[in-house]
Structure 1
Amino acid sequence: MSVSNYLEGLFGLNGRRALVTGSSQGIGFALAGGLARAGARVVLNGRDPAKLADAAQRLQGSFPGADIETLAFDATDHAAVRAAVDGFEAAHGPIDILVNNAGMQYRSPLEDFPADRFEALLQTNIASVFNVGQAVGRHMIARGEGKIVNICSVQTALARPGIAPYTATKGAVGNLTKGMATDWARHGLQCNAIAPGYFDTPLNAALVQDELFSQWLQKRTPAGRWGLVEELIGACIFLSSNASSFVNGHVLYVDGGITASL
Protein backbone atom coordinates (compact mmCIF):
# COMPACT_ATOMS: atom_id res chain seq x y z
CA MET A 1 0.00 0.00 0.00
CA SER A 2 1.35 3.42 -0.96
CA VAL A 3 1.82 6.17 1.61
CA SER A 4 -0.89 8.27 -0.07
CA ASN A 5 -3.37 5.37 0.04
CA TYR A 6 -2.54 4.72 3.68
CA LEU A 7 -3.08 8.35 4.64
CA GLU A 8 -6.28 8.50 2.61
CA GLY A 9 -7.56 5.51 4.57
CA LEU A 10 -6.76 7.25 7.85
CA PHE A 11 -7.75 10.84 7.15
CA GLY A 12 -9.85 10.82 3.96
CA LEU A 13 -13.53 11.74 4.25
CA ASN A 14 -14.71 10.77 0.78
CA GLY A 15 -18.34 9.62 0.77
CA ARG A 16 -19.11 11.04 4.21
CA ARG A 17 -21.52 13.86 4.93
CA ALA A 18 -20.71 16.48 7.57
CA LEU A 19 -23.22 18.87 9.16
CA VAL A 20 -21.54 21.98 10.60
CA THR A 21 -23.75 24.22 12.74
CA GLY A 22 -23.20 27.96 12.76
CA SER A 23 -21.19 27.70 9.55
CA SER A 24 -22.08 30.83 7.57
CA GLN A 25 -18.95 32.60 8.88
CA GLY A 26 -15.94 32.37 11.17
CA ILE A 27 -14.70 29.06 12.54
CA GLY A 28 -17.68 27.08 11.26
CA PHE A 29 -17.20 28.32 7.71
CA ALA A 30 -13.47 27.53 7.82
CA LEU A 31 -14.09 24.02 9.17
CA ALA A 32 -16.73 23.37 6.53
CA GLY A 33 -14.24 24.34 3.84
CA GLY A 34 -11.58 22.09 5.30
CA LEU A 35 -13.93 19.12 5.52
CA ALA A 36 -14.99 19.71 1.91
CA ARG A 37 -11.36 19.72 0.76
CA ALA A 38 -10.86 16.42 2.60
CA GLY A 39 -13.65 14.92 0.48
CA ALA A 40 -16.71 15.29 2.70
CA ARG A 41 -20.10 16.41 1.48
CA VAL A 42 -20.80 19.44 3.63
CA VAL A 43 -24.11 20.68 5.02
CA LEU A 44 -24.00 24.30 6.16
CA ASN A 45 -26.34 25.33 8.97
CA GLY A 46 -27.58 28.58 10.44
CA ARG A 47 -30.85 30.37 11.12
CA ASP A 48 -30.76 32.71 8.10
CA PRO A 49 -31.37 30.97 4.73
CA ALA A 50 -30.02 33.99 2.81
CA LYS A 51 -26.72 33.99 4.75
CA LEU A 52 -26.44 30.24 4.26
CA ALA A 53 -26.99 30.56 0.51
CA ASP A 54 -24.29 33.22 0.34
CA ALA A 55 -21.90 31.06 2.39
CA ALA A 56 -22.57 28.07 0.15
CA GLN A 57 -21.84 30.16 -2.93
CA ARG A 58 -18.58 31.45 -1.43
CA LEU A 59 -17.53 27.94 -0.43
CA GLN A 60 -18.37 26.55 -3.85
CA GLY A 61 -16.35 29.34 -5.45
CA SER A 62 -13.33 28.53 -3.30
CA PHE A 63 -13.58 24.77 -3.83
CA PRO A 64 -15.09 24.04 -7.27
CA GLY A 65 -16.60 20.58 -7.38
CA ALA A 66 -17.28 20.45 -3.64
CA ASP A 67 -20.64 18.98 -2.64
CA ILE A 68 -22.27 21.74 -0.57
CA GLU A 69 -25.80 21.69 0.86
CA THR A 70 -27.61 23.96 3.31
CA LEU A 71 -30.03 23.19 6.13
CA ALA A 72 -31.53 26.18 7.93
CA PHE A 73 -32.77 25.70 11.50
CA ASP A 74 -32.45 27.33 14.90
CA ALA A 75 -30.14 25.08 16.92
CA THR A 76 -31.71 26.33 20.17
CA ASP A 77 -35.17 25.01 19.19
CA HIS A 78 -35.28 21.33 20.15
CA ALA A 79 -38.37 20.43 18.13
CA ALA A 80 -37.20 22.34 15.06
CA VAL A 81 -33.80 20.66 15.18
CA ARG A 82 -35.34 17.19 15.42
CA ALA A 83 -37.71 17.87 12.51
CA ALA A 84 -34.94 19.33 10.33
CA VAL A 85 -32.46 16.51 10.98
CA ASP A 86 -35.03 13.73 10.60
CA GLY A 87 -36.34 15.30 7.40
CA PHE A 88 -32.87 15.75 5.94
CA GLU A 89 -31.83 12.18 6.70
CA ALA A 90 -35.02 10.83 5.15
CA ALA A 91 -34.59 12.90 2.00
CA HIS A 92 -30.82 12.94 1.49
CA GLY A 93 -29.23 10.15 3.52
CA PRO A 94 -27.02 9.86 6.59
CA ILE A 95 -25.16 12.59 8.43
CA ASP A 96 -21.88 10.85 9.25
CA ILE A 97 -20.10 13.74 10.95
CA LEU A 98 -21.54 16.47 13.17
CA VAL A 99 -19.57 19.58 14.09
CA ASN A 100 -21.41 21.47 16.84
CA ASN A 101 -20.02 24.95 16.26
CA ALA A 102 -22.97 27.32 16.89
CA GLY A 103 -22.14 29.75 19.66
CA MET A 104 -22.23 33.32 20.90
CA GLN A 105 -20.33 35.65 23.22
CA TYR A 106 -21.39 38.52 25.48
CA ARG A 107 -19.05 40.56 27.65
CA SER A 108 -20.01 42.28 30.88
CA PRO A 109 -18.83 42.39 34.50
CA LEU A 110 -20.49 39.49 36.28
CA GLU A 111 -22.22 41.73 38.83
CA ASP A 112 -23.96 43.59 35.98
CA PHE A 113 -24.47 40.67 33.60
CA PRO A 114 -28.01 40.83 32.10
CA ALA A 115 -30.14 37.80 32.91
CA ASP A 116 -31.54 37.62 29.38
CA ARG A 117 -27.98 37.49 27.93
CA PHE A 118 -27.09 34.73 30.39
CA GLU A 119 -30.11 32.73 29.22
CA ALA A 120 -29.18 33.36 25.57
CA LEU A 121 -25.68 32.03 26.23
CA LEU A 122 -27.08 28.89 27.86
CA GLN A 123 -29.37 28.21 24.92
CA THR A 124 -26.91 29.01 22.15
CA ASN A 125 -23.76 27.49 23.61
CA ILE A 126 -25.08 24.49 25.55
CA ALA A 127 -28.65 23.63 24.54
CA SER A 128 -27.71 23.71 20.86
CA VAL A 129 -25.05 21.04 21.44
CA PHE A 130 -27.58 18.86 23.25
CA ASN A 131 -30.32 19.47 20.67
CA VAL A 132 -28.32 18.78 17.53
CA GLY A 133 -26.16 16.12 19.16
CA GLN A 134 -29.21 14.17 20.26
CA ALA A 135 -31.05 14.53 16.94
CA VAL A 136 -28.08 13.41 14.86
CA GLY A 137 -26.82 10.94 17.45
CA ARG A 138 -30.02 8.90 17.35
CA HIS A 139 -29.47 8.19 13.66
CA MET A 140 -25.77 7.44 14.19
CA ILE A 141 -26.62 4.99 16.97
CA ALA A 142 -29.02 3.15 14.67
CA ARG A 143 -26.22 2.82 12.09
CA GLY A 144 -23.57 1.88 14.66
CA GLU A 145 -21.12 4.62 13.72
CA GLY A 146 -20.63 8.37 13.68
CA LYS A 147 -18.36 11.26 14.57
CA ILE A 148 -19.37 14.21 16.75
CA VAL A 149 -16.99 17.14 17.19
CA ASN A 150 -18.08 19.85 19.63
CA ILE A 151 -16.40 23.24 19.63
CA CYS A 152 -15.23 24.24 23.11
CA SER A 153 -12.78 27.03 23.99
CA VAL A 154 -9.74 27.79 26.14
CA GLN A 155 -12.49 28.99 28.49
CA THR A 156 -13.38 25.33 28.94
CA ALA A 157 -10.35 25.29 31.25
CA LEU A 158 -9.57 28.96 31.97
CA ALA A 159 -11.38 32.16 32.91
CA ARG A 160 -10.82 35.85 32.37
CA PRO A 161 -12.73 38.97 33.52
CA GLY A 162 -16.05 39.88 31.95
CA ILE A 163 -17.07 36.52 30.47
CA ALA A 164 -17.93 34.30 33.47
CA PRO A 165 -21.20 32.98 31.95
CA TYR A 166 -19.46 32.21 28.64
CA THR A 167 -16.79 30.36 30.61
CA ALA A 168 -19.51 28.37 32.35
CA THR A 169 -21.12 27.38 29.06
CA LYS A 170 -17.86 26.23 27.49
CA GLY A 171 -16.99 24.23 30.60
CA ALA A 172 -20.38 22.57 30.23
CA VAL A 173 -19.72 21.74 26.57
CA GLY A 174 -16.49 20.02 27.60
CA ASN A 175 -18.29 17.85 30.13
CA LEU A 176 -21.24 17.22 27.79
CA THR A 177 -18.68 15.91 25.28
CA LYS A 178 -17.42 13.47 27.90
CA GLY A 179 -21.01 12.49 28.66
CA MET A 180 -21.76 11.86 24.98
CA ALA A 181 -18.71 9.61 24.74
CA THR A 182 -19.65 7.77 27.93
CA ASP A 183 -23.17 7.04 26.67
CA TRP A 184 -22.50 6.54 22.97
CA ALA A 185 -19.03 5.02 22.51
CA ARG A 186 -20.52 1.56 22.92
CA HIS A 187 -22.74 2.29 19.91
CA GLY A 188 -19.75 3.00 17.67
CA LEU A 189 -19.67 6.80 17.98
CA GLN A 190 -16.61 8.90 18.68
CA CYS A 191 -17.54 12.13 20.49
CA ASN A 192 -14.76 14.64 21.02
CA ALA A 193 -14.17 18.38 21.14
CA ILE A 194 -11.81 21.04 19.84
CA ALA A 195 -10.96 23.90 22.20
CA PRO A 196 -9.67 26.86 20.18
CA GLY A 197 -7.49 29.47 21.80
CA TYR A 198 -7.70 33.08 20.70
CA PHE A 199 -8.52 33.20 17.00
CA ASP A 200 -9.14 36.16 14.72
CA THR A 201 -12.89 35.67 14.10
CA PRO A 202 -16.01 37.85 14.03
CA LEU A 203 -16.79 36.64 17.57
CA ASN A 204 -13.49 38.12 18.76
CA ALA A 205 -13.58 41.28 16.62
CA ALA A 206 -13.69 43.62 19.63
CA LEU A 207 -10.62 41.96 21.15
CA VAL A 208 -8.69 41.87 17.88
CA GLN A 209 -9.22 45.61 17.52
CA ASP A 210 -8.12 46.26 21.11
CA GLU A 211 -4.40 47.01 20.77
CA LEU A 212 -3.68 46.54 24.47
CA PHE A 213 -5.43 43.17 24.55
CA SER A 214 -3.61 41.98 21.43
CA GLN A 215 -0.29 42.97 23.00
CA TRP A 216 -1.19 41.11 26.19
CA LEU A 217 -2.24 38.04 24.18
CA GLN A 218 0.98 37.95 22.20
CA LYS A 219 2.96 37.97 25.45
CA ARG A 220 0.65 35.46 27.18
CA THR A 221 0.58 32.92 24.33
CA PRO A 222 3.80 30.91 23.81
CA ALA A 223 3.23 31.04 20.03
CA GLY A 224 3.15 34.83 20.34
CA ARG A 225 0.17 35.58 18.11
CA TRP A 226 -3.53 35.19 17.34
CA GLY A 227 -4.55 31.89 15.77
CA LEU A 228 -5.75 31.64 12.18
CA VAL A 229 -9.03 29.76 11.68
CA GLU A 230 -7.38 27.55 9.06
CA GLU A 231 -5.19 26.16 11.85
CA LEU A 232 -8.23 24.39 13.33
CA ILE A 233 -8.92 22.34 10.20
CA GLY A 234 -6.36 19.59 10.83
CA ALA A 235 -7.76 18.85 14.28
CA CYS A 236 -11.28 18.69 12.86
CA ILE A 237 -10.28 16.32 10.06
CA PHE A 238 -8.46 14.09 12.57
CA LEU A 239 -11.48 13.87 14.87
CA SER A 240 -13.82 13.31 11.89
CA SER A 241 -11.77 10.53 10.29
CA ASN A 242 -10.75 6.92 10.85
CA ALA A 243 -7.52 8.18 12.42
CA SER A 244 -9.43 8.88 15.66
CA SER A 245 -11.25 5.53 15.86
CA PHE A 246 -10.23 4.98 19.52
CA VAL A 247 -10.32 8.62 20.64
CA ASN A 248 -13.39 9.39 22.73
CA GLY A 249 -14.38 12.07 25.22
CA HIS A 250 -11.24 14.08 24.49
CA VAL A 251 -10.95 17.88 24.42
CA LEU A 252 -8.17 18.84 22.02
CA TYR A 253 -6.75 22.30 22.77
CA VAL A 254 -5.57 24.21 19.70
CA ASP A 255 -4.37 27.33 21.44
CA GLY A 256 -0.73 28.13 20.69
CA GLY A 257 0.20 26.78 24.12
CA ILE A 258 -1.78 29.24 26.23
CA THR A 259 -3.28 26.55 28.49
CA ALA A 260 0.15 24.99 29.02
CA SER A 261 1.90 28.12 30.23
CA LEU A 262 1.57 30.47 33.20
Structure 2
Amino acid sequence: MAAIFRTSIAIAAVLALGGCEQVEDKAFELKLRAYLREHPEVIREAAQKLKQKKIAAAARTLEHAQPRLERDTRDFVVHPDGHVTVVQFFDNNCLYCSNAAPEVLALIAQSPDVRFVFKQYPVFGSTSDYAASVALTPQGKARGLELYRAFLDQKKLTPARVDALALKAGLTPADLQLALADPAIAKQIGDTRALAQEIGLQGVPAFVVGDQVIQGADIDRLRAAITRARSSSLSSMSDSLVRRPAAGY
Protein backbone atom coordinates (compact mmCIF):
# COMPACT_ATOMS: atom_id res chain seq x y z
CA MET A 1 0.00 0.00 0.00
CA ALA A 2 2.84 2.38 0.89
CA ALA A 3 4.46 1.68 -2.47
CA ILE A 4 1.22 2.48 -4.31
CA PHE A 5 0.82 5.73 -2.35
CA ARG A 6 4.46 6.65 -3.03
CA THR A 7 3.92 6.02 -6.75
CA SER A 8 0.81 8.21 -6.70
CA ILE A 9 2.75 10.92 -4.94
CA ALA A 10 5.55 10.74 -7.51
CA ILE A 11 3.04 10.91 -10.36
CA ALA A 12 1.36 13.92 -8.79
CA ALA A 13 4.73 15.58 -8.33
CA VAL A 14 5.65 14.98 -11.97
CA LEU A 15 2.30 16.44 -13.06
CA ALA A 16 2.90 19.47 -10.87
CA LEU A 17 6.40 19.94 -12.26
CA GLY A 18 5.06 19.57 -15.78
CA GLY A 19 2.59 22.40 -15.31
CA CYS A 20 -0.62 20.33 -15.34
CA GLU A 21 -3.77 21.41 -13.57
CA GLN A 22 -3.84 21.25 -9.80
CA VAL A 23 -5.28 18.19 -8.15
CA GLU A 24 -8.93 18.89 -7.31
CA ASP A 25 -9.18 16.49 -4.36
CA LYS A 26 -8.43 18.71 -1.35
CA ALA A 27 -7.81 15.79 0.98
CA PHE A 28 -5.33 14.27 -1.41
CA GLU A 29 -3.64 17.64 -1.85
CA LEU A 30 -3.15 17.93 1.91
CA LYS A 31 -1.74 14.38 2.04
CA LEU A 32 0.53 15.24 -0.86
CA ARG A 33 1.90 18.33 0.85
CA ALA A 34 2.46 16.49 4.12
CA TYR A 35 4.15 13.58 2.41
CA LEU A 36 6.45 15.81 0.41
CA ARG A 37 7.50 17.71 3.52
CA GLU A 38 8.50 14.41 5.09
CA HIS A 39 9.99 12.92 1.90
CA PRO A 40 11.57 15.74 -0.19
CA GLU A 41 13.59 13.12 -2.08
CA VAL A 42 10.40 12.33 -4.02
CA ILE A 43 10.57 15.77 -5.63
CA ARG A 44 14.18 15.14 -6.66
CA GLU A 45 13.20 11.78 -8.13
CA ALA A 46 10.26 13.29 -10.00
CA ALA A 47 12.39 16.17 -11.30
CA GLN A 48 15.04 13.71 -12.49
CA LYS A 49 12.42 11.59 -14.26
CA LEU A 50 10.96 14.68 -15.89
CA LYS A 51 14.44 15.77 -17.03
CA GLN A 52 15.09 12.30 -18.46
CA LYS A 53 11.76 12.38 -20.31
CA LYS A 54 12.57 15.79 -21.80
CA ILE A 55 16.03 14.65 -22.89
CA ALA A 56 14.56 11.52 -24.50
CA ALA A 57 11.86 13.56 -26.24
CA ALA A 58 14.46 16.03 -27.57
CA ALA A 59 16.59 13.14 -28.85
CA ARG A 60 13.58 11.65 -30.66
CA THR A 61 12.79 15.06 -32.18
CA LEU A 62 16.36 15.45 -33.45
CA GLU A 63 16.37 11.93 -34.86
CA HIS A 64 13.11 12.61 -36.69
CA ALA A 65 14.45 15.93 -38.01
CA GLN A 66 17.92 14.63 -38.97
CA PRO A 67 17.27 14.23 -42.74
CA ARG A 68 15.98 17.81 -42.94
CA LEU A 69 18.82 19.07 -40.77
CA GLU A 70 21.69 17.32 -42.52
CA ARG A 71 20.53 16.31 -46.00
CA ASP A 72 18.31 19.06 -47.37
CA THR A 73 19.64 19.39 -50.93
CA ARG A 74 18.66 23.07 -50.97
CA ASP A 75 21.28 24.01 -48.36
CA PHE A 76 24.77 25.29 -49.00
CA VAL A 77 27.27 22.66 -47.81
CA VAL A 78 31.05 22.75 -47.41
CA HIS A 79 33.03 19.47 -47.49
CA PRO A 80 30.00 17.44 -48.68
CA ASP A 81 31.89 14.11 -48.33
CA GLY A 82 32.79 14.64 -44.66
CA HIS A 83 32.02 11.88 -42.14
CA VAL A 84 30.80 14.27 -39.43
CA THR A 85 28.11 16.91 -39.97
CA VAL A 86 27.79 20.31 -38.33
CA VAL A 87 24.60 22.27 -39.00
CA GLN A 88 24.68 26.00 -38.33
CA PHE A 89 21.56 28.16 -38.06
CA PHE A 90 22.51 31.80 -38.45
CA ASP A 91 21.36 35.29 -39.37
CA ASN A 92 23.62 37.40 -41.59
CA ASN A 93 22.76 40.49 -39.54
CA CYS A 94 23.41 38.93 -36.11
CA LEU A 95 26.30 40.33 -34.05
CA TYR A 96 26.91 37.00 -32.27
CA CYS A 97 26.89 35.17 -35.60
CA SER A 98 29.37 37.74 -36.88
CA ASN A 99 31.63 37.16 -33.86
CA ALA A 100 31.46 33.38 -34.37
CA ALA A 101 32.08 33.47 -38.14
CA PRO A 102 35.93 33.65 -38.03
CA GLU A 103 35.96 30.61 -35.72
CA VAL A 104 33.58 28.75 -38.01
CA LEU A 105 35.74 29.58 -41.02
CA ALA A 106 38.83 28.39 -39.14
CA LEU A 107 37.07 25.11 -38.29
CA ILE A 108 36.18 24.66 -41.96
CA ALA A 109 39.80 25.18 -42.99
CA GLN A 110 41.04 22.77 -40.29
CA SER A 111 38.40 20.06 -40.77
CA PRO A 112 38.09 18.61 -44.29
CA ASP A 113 36.42 15.56 -42.73
CA VAL A 114 33.49 17.63 -41.42
CA ARG A 115 30.43 18.57 -43.48
CA PHE A 116 29.31 22.09 -42.67
CA VAL A 117 25.64 22.71 -43.49
CA PHE A 118 24.50 26.34 -43.49
CA LYS A 119 20.89 27.11 -42.57
CA GLN A 120 19.78 30.63 -43.38
CA TYR A 121 17.60 31.52 -40.39
CA PRO A 122 16.80 35.25 -40.52
CA VAL A 123 15.29 36.53 -37.27
CA PHE A 124 16.17 40.23 -37.24
CA GLY A 125 13.76 41.68 -39.78
CA SER A 126 13.60 42.64 -43.43
CA THR A 127 17.33 43.18 -44.06
CA SER A 128 18.07 39.74 -42.61
CA ASP A 129 15.35 38.26 -44.83
CA TYR A 130 16.84 39.94 -47.88
CA ALA A 131 20.43 38.87 -47.14
CA ALA A 132 19.30 35.27 -46.59
CA SER A 133 17.33 35.32 -49.85
CA VAL A 134 20.33 36.65 -51.79
CA ALA A 135 22.53 33.93 -50.32
CA LEU A 136 19.98 31.27 -51.32
CA THR A 137 19.89 32.17 -55.02
CA PRO A 138 21.79 29.69 -57.23
CA GLN A 139 24.61 32.17 -57.70
CA GLY A 140 24.56 33.02 -54.00
CA LYS A 141 25.08 29.37 -53.11
CA ALA A 142 27.81 29.07 -55.73
CA ARG A 143 29.66 31.79 -53.81
CA GLY A 144 28.51 30.54 -50.44
CA LEU A 145 31.59 30.97 -48.26
CA GLU A 146 32.52 34.24 -49.95
CA LEU A 147 29.09 35.71 -49.15
CA TYR A 148 29.10 34.18 -45.66
CA ARG A 149 32.42 35.87 -44.93
CA ALA A 150 31.44 39.17 -46.57
CA PHE A 151 28.00 39.51 -44.95
CA LEU A 152 29.12 38.45 -41.46
CA ASP A 153 32.19 40.66 -41.61
CA GLN A 154 29.75 43.57 -41.43
CA LYS A 155 28.60 44.55 -37.96
CA LYS A 156 25.43 46.03 -39.42
CA LEU A 157 24.00 45.12 -42.81
CA THR A 158 21.69 47.34 -44.83
CA PRO A 159 19.97 46.41 -48.10
CA ALA A 160 22.43 48.66 -49.97
CA ARG A 161 25.40 46.88 -48.36
CA VAL A 162 23.89 43.51 -49.19
CA ASP A 163 23.60 44.58 -52.83
CA ALA A 164 27.14 45.97 -52.95
CA LEU A 165 28.70 42.89 -51.35
CA ALA A 166 26.70 40.53 -53.55
CA LEU A 167 27.65 42.37 -56.73
CA LYS A 168 31.29 42.41 -55.63
CA ALA A 169 31.10 38.62 -55.16
CA GLY A 170 29.93 38.20 -58.75
CA LEU A 171 26.15 38.15 -58.48
CA THR A 172 24.16 40.18 -60.97
CA PRO A 173 21.19 42.56 -60.65
CA ALA A 174 19.06 39.71 -62.02
CA ASP A 175 20.18 37.54 -59.09
CA LEU A 176 19.14 40.26 -56.66
CA GLN A 177 15.73 40.47 -58.31
CA LEU A 178 15.41 36.69 -58.10
CA ALA A 179 16.06 36.85 -54.36
CA LEU A 180 12.98 39.03 -53.97
CA ALA A 181 10.72 37.15 -56.37
CA ASP A 182 11.46 33.41 -56.16
CA PRO A 183 8.78 31.62 -54.08
CA ALA A 184 11.11 28.61 -53.69
CA ILE A 185 13.56 30.77 -51.71
CA ALA A 186 10.78 32.09 -49.48
CA LYS A 187 9.62 28.52 -48.90
CA GLN A 188 13.10 27.37 -47.94
CA ILE A 189 13.39 30.13 -45.35
CA GLY A 190 9.94 29.25 -44.04
CA ASP A 191 10.90 25.58 -43.80
CA THR A 192 14.06 26.49 -41.88
CA ARG A 193 12.07 28.59 -39.42
CA ALA A 194 9.66 25.72 -38.86
CA LEU A 195 12.55 23.30 -38.36
CA ALA A 196 14.23 25.63 -35.86
CA GLN A 197 11.00 25.86 -33.89
CA GLU A 198 10.52 22.09 -34.04
CA ILE A 199 13.90 21.36 -32.46
CA GLY A 200 13.51 24.12 -29.90
CA LEU A 201 16.10 26.67 -30.99
CA GLN A 202 15.99 29.85 -28.91
CA GLY A 203 18.02 32.12 -31.19
CA VAL A 204 21.09 32.39 -33.37
CA PRO A 205 23.73 31.25 -33.82
CA ALA A 206 22.91 27.64 -33.06
CA PHE A 207 24.72 24.47 -34.05
CA VAL A 208 23.58 20.86 -34.26
CA VAL A 209 26.14 18.05 -34.19
CA GLY A 210 24.53 14.62 -34.13
CA ASP A 211 22.30 14.50 -31.05
CA GLN A 212 23.71 17.69 -29.52
CA VAL A 213 22.27 21.20 -29.90
CA ILE A 214 24.61 24.07 -29.05
CA GLN A 215 22.81 27.35 -28.47
CA GLY A 216 24.90 30.47 -28.96
CA ALA A 217 28.45 31.11 -30.14
CA ASP A 218 30.01 28.51 -27.85
CA ILE A 219 32.88 27.42 -30.08
CA ASP A 220 34.55 25.36 -27.35
CA ARG A 221 31.42 23.23 -27.01
CA LEU A 222 31.20 23.02 -30.79
CA ARG A 223 34.78 21.74 -31.03
CA ALA A 224 34.09 19.21 -28.26
CA ALA A 225 30.95 18.02 -30.06
CA ILE A 226 32.91 17.58 -33.29
CA THR A 227 35.59 15.57 -31.45
CA ARG A 228 32.90 13.37 -29.91
CA ALA A 229 31.18 12.88 -33.27
CA ARG A 230 34.51 12.02 -34.92
CA SER A 231 35.16 9.37 -32.28
CA SER A 232 31.68 7.91 -32.76
CA SER A 233 32.10 7.91 -36.54
CA LEU A 234 35.48 6.15 -36.34
CA SER A 235 34.02 3.58 -33.95
CA SER A 236 31.14 2.88 -36.34
CA MET A 237 33.52 2.54 -39.28
CA SER A 238 35.71 0.12 -37.30
CA ASP A 239 32.69 -1.98 -36.33
CA SER A 240 31.61 -2.06 -39.96
CA LEU A 241 35.03 -3.31 -41.06
CA VAL A 242 35.02 -6.00 -38.37
CA ARG A 243 31.60 -7.24 -39.44
CA ARG A 244 32.42 -7.19 -43.17
CA PRO A 245 32.70 -10.78 -44.51
CA ALA A 246 36.03 -11.83 -45.98
CA ALA A 247 36.25 -11.80 -49.77
CA GLY A 248 35.90 -15.23 -51.40
CA TYR A 249 38.31 -16.78 -53.82
Q: TM-score range by the shorter chain?
A: under 0.3
Higher alpha-carbon Rg: 2
TM-score between both structures, scaled by the size of structure 1: 0.25
Q: Of Structure 1 and Structure 2, which has the larger fraction of its residues in helix?
A: 2
Q: Of Structure 1 and Structure 2, which has the larger fraction of its residues in strand?
A: 1
TM-score between both structures, scaled by the size of structure 2: 0.26
